[in-house]
Amino acid sequence: MAGLATALGSGAMTNTIAEIETSACIMAIGTSTTEAHPIIGYRVKRAVRNGAKLIVANPQEVPLTQFADLHLPLKPGSDVALLMGMARVIIEESLHDQQYIEQRTENFEAFKQSLEAYTPEFVSDMTGLDWNLVVEAARMYAENGPASILYCMGITQHSHGTDNVLAISNLALITGNLGRVSGGVNPLRGQNNVQGACDMGSLPNVFTGYQQVANDEARSKFEMAWGATLSGKPGLTHTEIFDAAYKGDVKAIYLIGENPVLTEANAAHAIEAMDRVEFFIVQDIFLNETAQKADVVLPAASFAEKNGTFVNTERRVQRVRKVVEPVGEAKPDWWITSAIANEMGADGFAYNSAADIFAEITSVTPSYAGISYQRLEEEGSVQWPCPAPDHPGTPILHAEKFATPSGKGKLMPIEYRPSEECCDFDFPLILTTERNLFQFHSTMTRYSEGLDELSGGEYIMINPQDAEKMGISEGDMVEVSSRRGKLQVKARITRRCQPGVASLSFHFAECPTNLLTSAALDPVAKTPETKVCAIKIEKA
Amino acid sequence: MSELVTLTIDGVEIKAEPGTSVLRAALENGIYIPHLCDHPDVSSVGICRVCIIEIEGRRPTVSCKTPVEEGMVVTTSNEELEKTRKINLELLVLNHDYNCQSCAKNSQCKLQELTRYIGLDEERIKAMREPELPHEIDDSNPYYLRDLNKCVLCGICVRTCEEIQGDGCIDFAFRGIKTKISVLGDKPIAESTCVTCGECVTRCPVGALVPRREMEPTYEVETICPFCGCGCAIAVGARGGKLVSSRAVPGSPASGGTLCVKGRFGLSFVNSPERLTKPLIRKDGELVEASWEEAISYVAQKLGQYKGDQFAAIASAKCTTEDNYVMQKFTRAVMETNNIDHCARL
Ligand code: SF4
Ligand code: SF4
Ligand code: SF4
Ligand code: SF4
């Protein structure tokens, strides 16, 4: 979430989930909320029942579209053009919040200038949308406050995902929607504890609470706390790790609870990288496809077999409690990692419980300093930042000032960069990947009886026009190929996809979608571009 | 808070928020008025008509649709009311498939509660009954059964799907004696737009909608759903060391007391016989079982050779905050590198 951090000083949902229900306008961009975040989907639909306006910007006719006042079926990867186009309309028609811009933001003039490139012709060309639709969306968003923007994978999963996020925060800033109840910019995070993993510094450039490893002060604080000498050089990102392993620079990998054979963009490359690694440890609850490649497999306890906390997409720290004993000899992940550290003679890993660890977290993490297991027991949950025990937590970010050095929200000029992967004669269709309500990014749902049955298996969705051109009918087996790989899957013909776009989900080992997708990286956030990939489809 | 309204029900003076229905005001004050189609989570519609009352100076009316008023004098029971109520109840249960002993709802059933309070003339009903049960059981959904022979047409499921989940997948269909709850085209539920959130199942007052794979738990523990970033609080039930049920924790700040199919029905992966139960070490190309001592000492000895930037860790957004903290501390403090990331970027 590098984009949001640049402009606003934080990369989390600015407002709470419950507030969505009282927004006057909701713009859902790049998210199929009802499928990826169902209960947020319920709230959006209830907001609409209460009279809120709903704008759905999505290449696909996602289920939420049927509740929308406006559907913007933009071309995949053209979000920045749409968002900057909307900003242009808002300023041209003086729908912006002048007072807010003056008091709470900076860089307005430079930003305004960068909008000149986004002419109606240019925006229509890039997005494939009628300019009138863009104008209508801009008015709807700006005239109905408080307005909330929801976005997720669809928007960050591009080689220019960071720009997308900046363009979103620009829109919210010029309309005064940040720091306001039921407004905000709200990235909906995918997995249950993405927020917690980021907060804890499971990232190459930061310690807990986003304290930079390159910052000498932060580093010496952690050196003191941990009694160790620490490197100030930011590490490799997820995709870079596999690249380095492929090249032989990374020789040992310790991987927990992931299944990159299935989920990694450009999976063939990642699989080869895993094969080349000299020592590969996988710690998981199942012997999944990735674990089968490991040198050592360590059995982990599931969420129901251990204590701890998860942090949800609205920065809410909540207690995970042990329900049953772990199966067999499975152990909590923290226990296993600590046991290895202890065996290697390290100090500072003599934890007896998750509570011990949480106490240490709060001692080194200012934004968690006021949270404790006891408080979570009494209050149910606390939203960070919570700097002191008597601090109530923070439901709405940026209420008084932004977490940037100047305290102001920075408006960011953005130059348009088209997607790296383009269609051509050989690969005429754009493939996007997406998730299905009943499946979830990984192995867990596959082992839950019944969910497979409901999901109807893996399929590729194709627009009827394209299907007719290619002579494909509902239920046909087709071969899908990209510049990187190919696979076979069943076809489903649906208007949910616009002509020229096809969509696959990535859940089943039997059909590894990500063999096909591109690993072009966003230069700042280093998110692989799994959302845009050129393909062709032929009858198998 | 606005000023409370004072009213009298069966001679007892109570206070209630303006806008509250007489029914809910009475129930909140410990006064029972029989009712079936009213549910606190959804709007009131007054279709079962068993909650009828008399208000001084007015004709009998349903208490769920009557807002409290200052000085109102309410009677919940007299001969006339009891008689009407009994007829209304009899109409509802005319073709009800009574087999309480084997019904999943036994002892938590609203219809039993009503029958106990109002009483039924069994002989009379038997005489009017159709010889065959009119509906087949719909078992097309893997997680819940629909047995419309037990449906009392309260419409709570219809309003739940409309007002809480938001899709409105089900509705009343047909007329008169043939009225039933149905999906578009009267198909099995699995062929409808139903997303199996189970919200209607938890609110159905009788045994018409029942979960299929659940068992009564020995105990429940409140925790957080392991699937998506919404962070819905769930009360997970266990029995014999296995997870057997899951329900929404009322008032959970993220979910507001609702769940989706995954948090409600998708937890059985924990019980899967395919779970890893022992450490495995690759020997001669095969992964073979090992003890923890052996595995930990092997890993520690190997990792000792890879300190610095030749090591990388991939943590997990599925694991707890504590697990992640320990993993990054290990990577940085013990393995001496910042090569750590997880799947969040995706
Ligand atoms: S629904 Fe109620 S009354 Fe009907 S059989 Fe079940 S428990 Fe008995
Ligand atoms: S299925 Fe249950 S909730 Fe729905 S109308 Fe029938 S009895 Fe009421
Ligand atoms: S399970 Fe959910 S979606 Fe399906 S009918 Fe019931 S409330 Fe509607
Ligand atoms: S119940 Fe559904 S919406 Fe709630 S956290 Fe779980 S997966 Fe997400």
Closest-CA distance, B66 to chain A, in angstroms, reads 23
Query: What pLDDT shows up at residue A442?
Result: 52
Q: B339: which chain A residues are within 8 Å (Cβ-Cβ)?
A: 204, 235-236, 241, 250
Closest-CA distance, A326 to chain B, in angstroms, reads 9
Decide: B254 in ligand 4 pocket, CB within 6 A: no
Q: Do B254 and A191 touch (CB under 8 A)?
A: no
* CATH classification code of B5-128: 3.10.20.740
Query: What pLDDT shows up at residue A463?
Result: 86
Query: What pLDDT shows up at residue A499?
Result: 82
From B228, B280, B331, residue closest to A37, measured CB to CB = B228
CATH superfamily of A2-188: Dimethylsulfoxide Reductase, domain 2 (3.40.228.10)
Enumerate residue ranges in chain B where pLDDT < 50.
345-346
Rounded Cα distance between A482 and A485, Å, is 5
Q: Number of Cβ pairs closer than 8 Å across A and B?
A: 475
* Mean pLDDT per 10-residue segment, chain A (540 residues): 53 88 93 85 94 92 89 86 94 93 90 91 91 95 93 56 82 92 88 90 92 93 94 89 91 89 69 91 92 94 96 95 96 97 94 96 94 95 94 90 83 77 68 59 62 70 85 84 75 82 62 52 51 74
Write the residue with the smallest CA distance to atom 1 of ligand 4.
B263
Rounded Cα distance between A21 and A14, Å, is 15
In terms of CA atoms, which chain B residue is nearest residue A306?
Answer: B320
| Fold designation for A429-539 | Barwin-like endoglucanases (2.40.40)
Decide: B208 in ligand 2 pocket, CB within 6 A: yes
Q: Tell me how far the alpha carbon of residue B258 lies from the centroid of ligand 3, in angstroms.
A: 12
Closest-CA distance, A231 to chain B, in angstroms, reads 6
Interface pTM, i.e. ipTM: 0.90
List all residues 6 or more positions away from A418 whose beta carbon is below 8 Å from its beta carbon: A77, A126
Query: What pLDDT shows up at residue A539?
Result: 81
Q: Where are the domain boundaries for CATH 2.40.40.20 in chain A?
A: 429-539
Closest-CA distance, A223 to chain B, in angstroms, reads 8
Query: What pLDDT shows up at residue B27?
Result: 94
From B261, B281, B292, residue closest to A437, measured CB to CB = B261
Q: A231: which chain B residues are within 8 Å (Cβ-Cβ)?
A: 332, 336-338
Residue of B89, B88, B158, B265 lying closest to A437 (CA atoms): B265
Q: A287: which chain B residues are within 8 Å (Cβ-Cβ)?
A: 274, 276, 280, 287
Q: Do A250 and B311 touch (CB under 8 A)?
A: yes
- Per the CB < 8 A criterion, the answer to whether A72 and A56 are in contact is yes
**Best to test chain B binding among A157, A202, A222, A372 (most B CBs inside 10 Å):** A202
Query: What pLDDT shows up at residue A440?
Result: 47
A462-480 residues labelled b (16+ CB within 10 A) or e (exposed):
bbeebbeebebeeebebeb
Q: Where are the domain boundaries for CATH 3.40.50.740 in chain A?
A: 194-383
| Fold designation for B213-275 | N-terminal domain of TfIIb (2.20.25)
Ligand 1 atom with minimal separation from the B106 CA:
7
Residue of B36, B155, B149 lying closest to B96 (CA atoms): B149
Task: Name residue, tokens 């990577």.
Answer: B331
Query: What pLDDT shows up at residue A507?
Result: 53
Q: A189: which chain B residues are within 8 Å (Cβ-Cβ)?
A: 229, 344
Query: What pLDDT shows up at residue B346?
Result: 43
Decide: B100 in ligand 1 pocket, CB within 6 A: yes
Rounded Cα distance between B164 and B158, Å, is 10
Stated as kind and residue range, the H or E segment containing A85 is helix A79-92
pLDDT tens for each residue of B218-234: 999 999 999 988 999 99
Full-prediction pTM beyond 0.95? no
Q: Tell me how far the alpha carbon of residue B258 lies from the centroid of ligand 2, in angstroms.
A: 18
Please report how the helices B292-303 and A333-343 are oriented relative to each other, as an axis angle in degrees rounded to 10.
Answer: 60
Rounded Cα distance between A394 and A387, Å, is 10
Query: What pLDDT shows up at residue A94?
Result: 92
Q: Where are the domain boundaries for CATH 3.40.228.10 in chain A?
A: 2-188
From A39, A296, A340, residue closest to B255, measured CB to CB = A39
In terms of CA atoms, which chain B residue is nearest residue A249?
Answer: B310
Q: B269: which chain A residues are within 8 Å (Cβ-Cβ)?
A: 285, 302, 443-448
Q: Which CATH number fits domain A194-383: 3.40.50.740, 3.90.950.10, 3.30.70.1890, 3.40.50.620?
A: 3.40.50.740
From A156, A249, A310, residue closest to B320, measured CB to CB = A310
Stated as kind and residue range, the H or E segment containing A532 is none
Query: Between the CA atoms of A450, A453, A457 and A461, what dihedral angle is there, to the nearest 10 degrees?
Result: -110
Q: Do A45 and B222 touch (CB under 8 A)?
A: no
Q: Which two tokens stand for residue A303?
A: 């969420």
| Count of other CB atoms within 10 angstroms of residue A508 | 17
Rounded Cα distance between A109 and A115, Å, is 10
Ligand nearest to the CA of B154: 2
Query: What pLDDT shows up at residue A496?
Result: 80
E strand residue ranges, A295-412: 296-299, 308-311, 316-320, 381-383, 409-410
* DSSP string covering A165-201: HHHHHHHHHHTT-TTSTT-SEEE--SBTTHHHHHHTT
Decide: B155 in ligand 2 pocket, CB within 6 A: yes
Instruction: Locate the domains of chain B by residue range.
Output: 5-128, 213-275, 280-342
Q: B321: which chain A residues are within 8 Å (Cβ-Cβ)?
A: 193, 196-197, 199-200, 308-311, 317, 358, 361
pLDDT tens for each residue of A220-276: 999 999 999 999 999 998 888 988 999 999 999 999 988 777 666 566 778 888 889
Closest-CA distance, A162 to chain B, in angstroms, reads 11
Task: Name residue, tokens 């000083």.
Answer: A9
Rounded Cα distance between B317 and A86, Å, is 34
Q: Do A451 and B324 touch (CB under 8 A)?
A: no
